[in-house]
Amino acid sequence: MCGIAGFFSTKPLPDNTSEIVDAQLESIKHRGPDSFNAHLDRERGLALGHSRLIINDFEHGAQPLATPDKSHYLTVNGEFYNFKRHRSNLMAESQRFLTKSDSEIALGLYRKFGIDFLQELRGEFAIVLYDQERDELLLARDRFGVRPLFYYVSSNKDTLVWGSEAKAVLAHPEVEARLDPKAALHQLMQTIVPGMSAFTGVHSLSPGHFLRIRKRNGSLDITEERYWDFDFPTEEERPKEVNEQDQVERIREELIDAIVIRLEADVPVGCYLSGGIDSCCILGLASGAMQSPVKAYTISFDDDQYDEAPIAQEMAESMGAEQNVINLKAEDLYGQNFIDTVWHAERTFYNTLGVAKNLMSKKVQESGYRCVVTGEGADELFAGYPALKRDMFLHGISHEPASVRAEYQQALEKTNSLFKGAILSENERIHPAWMSLCGFTPSWLQPWMDTLDLARPLLHDDVAHELRDYDPIAAIADRIDGSMLEGRHPLDIAQYTWSKCQLEGQILNWGGDRVDMANSMESRPPFLDHHLAEAAVHVPPSLRIKGNTEKHILREAVKGVLPEVLYKREKFAFMAPPAHTDEAKKAKVGELISSFLNEDTVRDAGLLSPERVTQFLNDYRADTDPTSLVRKDALLNHLLCLHILHHQFVA
């Protein structure tokens, strides 16, 4: 795991190129503090930078890497888990390697397969590869977007700048740090357009895509192509009859394989452990594969309604794991830890879970570990989120009697009442762009449509005028490939659209890579292994959500390692207690409000109306409705984060 940065130009690079790359790498040194290296070819306009976190090949794995004949150069952030097999095959075909690093196989596979080499890679990665023979650059990102990769193209298209984080792109002197008004509105409503960053002109490379950059007549010819997608079969393609046990065994086999290969490293590997099925089954299956007790790390909150630590403790004890519990209170979730998490995430977040995970990854690093396996992705593959269940009940089980559907829906609303206003909307919302795209408006989007109704009136008059014709809900829909939804079951549609918008932009950002790498700690999510994903899409919707039970097929596949209470338990959203839930949190968030949402700070940022923000804060303090408070808590966090971003990167 590492950080990558650099730039590519049609012109020879300036004399201070080395200093520019150093500044880029310095901005992301938390991602790879062990070494900093660069390959500079000023005449060809190429600067490749790499900051290294050593997980494999302690002695010889420094990057950028090159082929023995110096015809190809490479930087990688990530891991390739199938590297030993590929390495052996390539050596049998006369290729040679200069290191024992897993990253180096990308060079060998590229020389063998050309651009199709991406199909051969198994893991989580962001790649920059330079083909000197063609004078051509390639940027590529893993299939689900576990590892981040940002880029900027100059206005005259003669320079491309990239980095593992937006801050590495902003460190280049040609890139101005400005908050994008459209992105600001999206962040206030929680859901960003896929590919959008907080900053004007800085883009996030789409998961499962690559950029191909060639020089043409003094400018860069840049094309973006997709090499993989989360592809559900059409309903017509699905077999009429499926053997459930066969499905259970296939999922179990692929999951075990995905976990076992992620336990291989030249450093010890631990596990994140919440009280959910996803991380618990990973701990259970990892315990079977490891020769010594697994080190498990658990977050405990000071509110019993949100705390899953007791179930996690039961799981750890049943597996003989060595559990480390980090107990978090108001003073931990707000204050400087909140501010630091915003800097690492480079986007706003609706809940302080990201702060909690930042602190947990710090605990992991302090305990001497720098690599863990995690549970992200299980809900995307096996329909674990409450909003996905709601869409299944509303649109996916029309064959069931209305009374049965109503019973399921009522049970769902009751068990998720704590999260209404953020996870679920209290009233159905529809939008024509999504009705046209999906046939319905996905339930995961609807609460953020409600939040948009609160956020948009807060815009500064000038910004509101600039965005008067901009529909953020339609803009998100415009980035979804409708061909991937045609003929699919409603549950498939809900899962696909969530994964394209919320997985990469939220779960894998402030819930994953960005807060883990904040502390030089690599996280590996087995559920986002593409072999497992390709098996999961073939599980019928009725086995992903069976009756009123979400993730049914996963429960059956791993029930042998789960405590009975967890096997039978309904999905519970993993969130930190919101600010309104106790006086200590109200006081701590009040300190942040004083610093970042006072009228002078809001006026300086220029995005929102100081007077209307003040009125919102007054309404928030006076509110007593639980659902309204959950929604306003989310918006309050977004407002704070947005102005912290302005303070950190712009002001």
Position 309 pLDDT exceeds 90: no
Say if residue 536 is exposed, middle or buried (CB neighbours under 10 Å; 0-12, 13-18, 19+). buried
Give the pLDDT score at 59: 64
Give the pLDDT score at 135: 96
Higher-confidence position of 315 and 416: 315
Report angle CA 499, 502, 506 to the nearest 5 degrees.
130
Give the pLDDT score at 593: 97
Position 571 pLDDT exceeds 70: no
> pLDDT > 70: what percent of the chain?
98
Banded model confidence at residue 64, pLDDT cuts 50, 70, 90: very high
State how far Cα 7 lies from the chain centre.
Answer: 24
d(CA 208, CA 228): 5
d(CA 2, CA 126): 10
Residue 69: closest CA among 136, 131, 7 = 131
In which residue are the tokens 């649109």 written? Answer: 395
d(CA 23, CA 588): 34
d(CA 122, CA 107): 14
Alpha helices, DSSP H only, in 263-401? 277-289, 309-319, 330-333, 336-345, 353-366, 378-382, 386-391
Give the pLDDT score at 57: 58
Give the pLDDT score at 56: 64
Give the model confidence (pLDDT) of 622-637 as tens digits: 999 988 998 999 999 9
Give the model confidence (pLDDT) of 520-559 as tens digits: 999 999 999 999 999 999 999 999 999 999 999 999 999 9
Give the pLDDT score at 583: 87
β-bridge partners, 299 = 326
**Residue type (1 letter), 27:** S
Position 249 pLDDT exceeds 80: yes
Report the binding-site residues for ATP.
299
Banded model confidence at residue 574, pLDDT cuts 50, 70, 90: confident
Report angle CA 289, 362, 584 to the nearest 5 degrees.
120
Ranking 163-167, 233-237, 399-403 by mean pLDDT, the lowest is 399-403
Give the model confidence (pLDDT) of 476-523 as tens digits: 999 999 999 999 999 999 999 999 999 998 999 998 999 999 999 999
Give the pLDDT score at 281: 94
| Mean pLDDT of all residues in 51-61 | 71
Give the pLDDT score at 420: 74
| Mean pLDDT of all residues in 171-177 | 97
- DSSP β-ladder status, 2-9 and 46-52: antiparallel
| Mean pLDDT, all residues of the chain | 93
Give the pLDDT score at 400: 86
**Residue type (1 letter), 428:** E
d(CA 519, CA 105): 27
Position 415 pLDDT exceeds 70: yes
- The helix/strand/coil state of 414 is helix
Dihedral of CA 155/158/161/167: which sign?
Answer: negative
Give the pLDDT score at 555: 96
Position 401 pLDDT exceeds 90: no
Take residue 251 and report the two structure tokens written for it: 């999922």
Banded model confidence at residue 247, pLDDT cuts 50, 70, 90: very high
Give the pLDDT score at 291: 79
| Mean pLDDT of all residues in 86-104 | 87
Among this protein's residues, is 2 annotated catalytic? yes
Residue 72, CA distances (Å) to 134, 313, 387 in order: 10, 49, 46
Length of the chain as a residue count? 651
**Residue type (1 letter), 464:** A
Give the pLDDT score at 95: 84
Give the pLDDT score at 580: 84
Q: Helices H, strands E: what count in the chain?
A: 28, 19
β-bridge partners, 270 = 372
Take residue 105 and report the two structure tokens written for it: 């196989």
Q: What kind and span of H or E run contains 270?
A: strand 270-272
Catalytic residue among 2, 280, 371, 641: 2
Residue 245, CA distances (Å) to 517, 541, 557 in order: 39, 15, 9
Take residue 147 and report the two structure tokens written for it: 């590892």
Take residue 18 and report the two structure tokens written for it: 């080395």
Position 244 pLDDT exceeds 90: yes
| Mean pLDDT of all residues in 342-352 | 95
**Residue type (1 letter), 136:** E
Contact yes or no for 328/179 (Cβ under 8 A): no
In which residue are the tokens 């096996």 written? Answer: 382
E strands, 156-269, in order: 159-163, 202-204, 209-216, 219-226
> pLDDT > 90: what percent of the chain?
78
Give the pLDDT score at 453: 96
- The helix/strand/coil state of 334 is coil
Give the pLDDT score at 573: 65
Residue 145, CA distances (Å) to 72, 208, 432, 522 in order: 25, 7, 28, 15
Based on its alpha-carbon atoms, the radius of gyration of the chain, rounded to whole angstroms, reads 24
Give the pLDDT score at 405: 83
Contact yes or no for 529/144 (Cβ under 8 A): no
Q: In what order do the strands lie in the sheet with 35-41?
A: 35-41, 46-52, 2-9, 159-163, 150-153, 202-204
Position 55 pLDDT exceeds 90: no
Contact yes or no for 515/358 (Cβ under 8 A): yes
Task: Please state the φ and ψ torsions of residue 338, each to the nearest 5 degrees.
Answer: -60, -50
Give the pLDDT score at 308: 81
Give the pLDDT score at 290: 86
d(CA 526, CA 540): 21
Give the global pTM: 0.95
Contact yes or no for 524/79 (Cβ under 8 A): yes
Give the model confidence (pLDDT) of 376-385 as tens digits: 999 999 999 9
Higher-confidence position of 300 and 412: 300
Banded model confidence at residue 322, pLDDT cuts 50, 70, 90: very high
Residue 288, CA distances (Å) to 99, 256, 285 in order: 31, 10, 5
Give the pLDDT score at 53: 74
Give the pLDDT score at 575: 76
Residue 457, CA distances (Å) to 33, 460, 482, 615 in order: 43, 8, 31, 11
Give the model confidence (pLDDT) of 97-138 as tens digits: 888 888 999 999 999 999 999 999 999 999 999 999 999 999
Take residue 214 and report the two structure tokens written for it: 């060639």
Position 416 pLDDT exceeds 80: no
Alpha helices, DSSP H only, in 199-352? 244-262, 277-289, 309-319, 330-333, 336-345
Position 419 pLDDT exceeds 90: no
